[in-house]
Amino acid sequence: MDNTKRRLLNEKIAKGFMHLSGITVTASLFFIVGTILYKGLPYLNWDMVSQLPKGGFYIGKEGGILNAILGSLYLAGVATALSALIGIPISLYLNVYLGGKSRITQFSKLLFDVLYGVPSIVYGAVGFGIMVYFGIRASLLGGIITVTLLTVPIVVRTVDELIKTIPQDLKNVTLSLGTTRWELAKVMLRSIRAGLLTAILLAFGRAIGDVAGVLLTTGFSDNLPKYIDEPAATLPLAIFFQLSSPIPEVQGRAYASALVLTIIILIIVVCTHILQSKQKNR
Amino acid sequence: MHSYPSIETKESLIQHPLSEPHIEIKDLNVHIDGRHILKNINLALPNNSVTSIIGPSGCGKTTLLKTLNRLVDDTKGVEITGSVLVNGEDIYGRNAEVTHIRKKMGLLSQKPYPLPMSIYDNVAYGPRIHGIKSKKELDKIVETQLRNVALWDEVKDRLGHSASGLSIGQQQRLCLARGLAVEPEIILGDESTSALDPLSTAKIEELLIELKKDYTIVLVTHILRQARRVSDYILFVYGGEILEFGPTEQVLLNPQHEITKQYVKGFIS
C-alpha cells in the first residue's frame, strides 16, 4: 500500500472511532432520558411538585416531593454561592499574587486536584465526623458545609484553567496602566466572566446531584426545609429512597423525581447559556 | 538638538552623557534562572525622541524594554542589578513604587489587547483608577485621547460598545489612547505593529512621530525599515549586550561594528 493510501486509511479509522463514540454517547443520553420519561411521566403531575409527601417518602403513594425540590435548591444554591465566594479568591490569589509558577501555587494546585477527585462519601464522612464532634445533628447546615467543601475544588480548578487562557500581554498592558494587583485581578475576572458561569454551573451540577455527601450530613425529612439546623430532604436521596421501596407506584415516583431533577438542571443550563451569550455580545 | 553619544565603546555612553537624558541605565545586569540575559547595560536616552531597539530574536530586546517599566519583576527566577533612572530617580530604588513607575510608562503591546469593557471605559479606566471621578472630566479625557490617536470620528457614535468589536488597527489605536490617558512620560512599544496591516501600521507610525513632541518613545522592532522611518536613535542589542547606539542614519547606513553591519544587511536575523 502506498503512503497516501495508508494515511487516508488512518484518517478513516480515526474518524470512524470519533463517529462511534459520538453515536454511543448520544444513544446513551437518549436512552437515559427516554427511560426517565417513559417510567416517570405517568407519575408526574402538579401534586408531585407542589405537595409534601403523604404517608411517608418510603411507602407513600400520595403527595409530592416539594420538600426535596426545595431542599436540593437551597442546599445546592447556597453551597454553590459559598464555593464561588471561597474558590474564586483562592484561584486569584494563587495566580495573581503568588504567580502561576510559584511553588506554593504548584503545590496547592496538586492539592486541589486530589480534592477534586476525592469521592463525596469521604467528604460526607469527614463532615459527619465534624458534626458529631460539635454535637450538630444531620441538618441542612451540615449538608451545606459538606457540599461546599466538595465544590470548592471544582471552582478553584476551573477558574484556574480559565485564568490560564488570559494572554500575558493583557496582564502586562493592564499593569502598565499603573494598576494594583487587585485591580488587575478585577480586569482578569471581567475577561473570563463568561467562563465563570460555566465554573459555577459545574459546581451547581455536582452539588445538586450529590448523594453520598448529603446522606450522612443532611438526613431526610418529609417536612419543608424551614430551619437550617433541621434535617432536609434532597432530590437524589428522594430518588434513592423511592427506588428502594417495594411498592411499584413509589418506584414510578422515583423516576418522576429524576425527571424533575433533570428538568431543574436543564433550566439552569439553558439560563447559563443565555447569560453567557449576553455577556459575549457586550 | 541633543549631542549624540559617541559610539566607539559602550563605556563612552556614560562618559559623554546626553544633555538631558530622560532615561538612564547604569550597569544593568539581568539574570533569569541563572542565565545572563542583559549584560552591563549602560545607556542614556534623550527626551522627546524615538529610540528603536533592534537585534536578532532572543537577544534581550524585550527584556530590556520590560526592565524599563519593571514588568520584568514578574518573571520567575529573575535577578536584577544596576539601576534605571527616570528623570534621575532610580526605579529600582528602595522607595520606588511600582504602580507609580508604570503609570509613567505607557505600554503598547505586540497585539492590541483592549480591556474587556466598552470603548469609553477602556480610555477612562486608567484615569479612573488614578482617582478621576467626575464624568465631565472623564468625557473630556476620552475625547481628547481618542482624537489624539485619530479614532474619535470612527467611534464617537458607539463609545458604549464593546472594544472587541473594533478592527485590529482601531484596537491598537484605542490601546494607545488608553495608555496616553494616564498621562505617561514615556511610551514603550513592543513590536506594536507586528499584528497590523500596512495601512494601520502607517497610522501608528505617524502617531508615534507626532507624539514624540511630548513623549520619549522606546520601541522594540524587527522591521528595520520601520526603525528607519520612525526613530531618531537606534540601539542594536546582540547576545544581551549593547553593540551599537547612535543616530538612526549612522547605525543603519554606516554601522561601526561588524555584527551590526551583517544584521542591517540581513545576513543575520
- Residues A198-238 have pLDDT tens digits of 899 999 999 999 998 899 999 888 888 888 889 999 999 99
Q: Are B107 and A176 a contacting pair at CB < 8 A?
A: yes
Smallest Cβ–Cβ distance between B102 and the set A101, A178, A282 belongs to A178
Give the strand pairing for B105-108 and B186-190.
parallel
* B200 conformational bin, left if phi > 0, alpha if psi -120 to 50, beta if neither: alpha
CA distance B13 to B233: 13
What sign does the CA torsion over B80, B86, B88, B89 have?
A: negative
Mean pLDDT computed over every residue of chain A = 91
Give yes or no: residues A180 and A205 share one domain. Answer: yes
- Looking at the structure of chain A, the number of domains it has is 2
- pLDDT of res. B141: 96
Q: Are A180 and B126 a contacting pair at CB < 8 A?
A: no
Give yes or no: residues A38 and A177 share one domain. Answer: no
Give yes or no: residues A100 and A231 share one domain. Answer: yes
Give yes or no: residues A82 and A109 share one domain. Answer: yes
Mutate one of A162, A176, A189 to test the B interface: name it (highest B CB count within 10 A): A176
Give yes or no: residues A30 and A94 share one domain. Answer: no
Burial-class residue B88 by CB neighbours within 10 Å (0-12, 13-18, 19+): exposed
Give yes or no: residues A229 and A206 share one domain. Answer: yes
Q: State phi, psi for A130 to the nearest 5 degrees.
A: -60, -45
Residue B149's SS3 state is: coil
Give yes or no: residues A266 and A131 share one domain. Answer: yes
Residue B153 burial (CB count, 10 A): 9
**The model's pTM:** 0.83
State the cell numbers at A233: 430532604
Smallest Cβ–Cβ distance between A178 and the set B116, B117, B182 belongs to B182
Q: State phi, psi for A277 to the nearest 5 degrees.
A: -70, -30
Q: Are B71 and A193 a contacting pair at CB < 8 A?
A: no
Give yes or no: residues A27 and A133 share one domain. Answer: no
| Chain A partners within 8 Å of B126 (Cβ) | 177-178
Q: Which of A279, A119, A186 is nearest to B128 (CA)?
A: A186
Mutate one of A96, A97, A173, A186 to test the B interface: name it (highest B CB count within 10 A): A173
Give yes or no: residues A11 and A72 share one domain. Answer: no
Give yes or no: residues A83 and A203 share one domain. Answer: yes
Q: State phi, psi for A136 to the nearest 5 degrees.
A: -90, 140
DSSP letters along chain A, please?
--HHHHHHHHHHHHHHHHHHHHHHHHHHHHHHHHHHHHHHGGG--HHHHHS-EES-TTT--EE--HHHHHHHHHHHHHHHHHHHHHHHHHHHIIIIITTTTSHHHHHHHHHHHHHHHS-HHHHHHHHHHHHHHHTPPS-HHHHHHHHHHHHHHHHHHHHHHHHHTS-HHHHHHHHTTT--HHHHHHHHHHHTHHHHHHHHHHHHHHHHH--HHHHHHT---SS----TTS----HHHHHHHHHTSS-HHHHHHHHHHHHHHHHHHHHHHHHHHHHHHHHHH-
CA distance A243 to A169: 55
CA distance A154 to A204: 10
Please tell me the distance in Å from A191's CA to the nearest CA on chain B. Answer: 5
Per-residue pLDDT of chain B (269 residues; tens, 9 = 90+): 444 444 444 444 443 444 568 899 999 999 999 999 999 999 999 888 999 999 998 899 999 999 999 999 888 889 999 999 998 889 998 888 999 899 999 999 999 999 999 999 999 999 999 999 999 999 999 999 999 898 999 999 999 999 999 999 999 999 999 999 999 999 999 998 888 889 889 989 999 999 999 999 999 998 899 999 999 999 999 999 999 999 999 999 999 888 998 898 887 76
- pLDDT of res. B269: 65
Smallest Cβ–Cβ distance between A174 and the set B69, B103, B115 belongs to B115
Give yes or no: residues A16 and A67 share one domain. Answer: no
- pLDDT of res. B16: 40
Please tell me the distance in Å from B183's CA to the nearest CA on chain A. Answer: 10
Mutate one of B62, B66, B102, B120 to test the A interface: name it (highest A CB count within 10 A): B102
Residue B5's SS3 state is: coil
- pLDDT of res. B76: 83
A280 to chain B, any CB pair closer than 8 A? The answer is no
Give the residue numbers spanning the domain of A159.
48-281
Please tell me the distance in Å from B179's CA to the nearest CA on chain A. Answer: 6
Q: Are B130 and A178 a contacting pair at CB < 8 A?
A: yes
Distance, CA of A133 to chain centre: 28
Residue B159 burial (CB count, 10 A): 19
| Chain A partners within 8 Å of B125 (Cβ) | 177
Give yes or no: residues A24 and A58 share one domain. Answer: no
Q: How many residues would you count in chain B?
A: 269
Q: In this complex, how many residue pairs, one in chain A and one in chain B, have their CB atoms less than 8 Å apart?
A: 65
Q: How far is CA B216 from CA A173, B111, B185, B204, in A?
A: 18, 21, 7, 15
Going by pLDDT thresholds of 50, 70 and 90, the confidence category of residue A57 is: low
A108 to chain B, any CB pair closer than 8 A? The answer is no
Q: What is the DSSP-derived secondary structure letter of residue B251?
A: H
- pLDDT of res. A280: 66
Per-residue pLDDT tens over the stretch A129-175 = 988 898 888 999 999 999 999 999 999 999 999 999 999 999 999 99
Smallest Cβ–Cβ distance between A169 and the set B113, B117, B162 belongs to B113
- pLDDT of res. A101: 80
The CATH number of the domain where A151 resides is what? 1.10.3720.10
Judge if ipTM > 0.90: no
- pLDDT of res. B3: 46
Q: Are B129 and A99 a contacting pair at CB < 8 A?
A: no
Q: Look up cell 418522576; give the residue.
A: A256
Strand order in the sheet with B78-86: B35-46, B21-32, B78-86, B89-90
Smallest Cβ–Cβ distance between B99 and the set A101, A179, A193 belongs to A179
A194 to chain B, any CB pair closer than 8 A? The answer is no
Smallest Cβ–Cβ distance between A282 and the set B100, B102, B162 belongs to B162
Going by pLDDT thresholds of 50, 70 and 90, the confidence category of residue A281 is: low
Distance, CA of A201 to chain centre: 6
Residues contacting residue B133 through CB under 8 Å, at least 6 positions apart: none
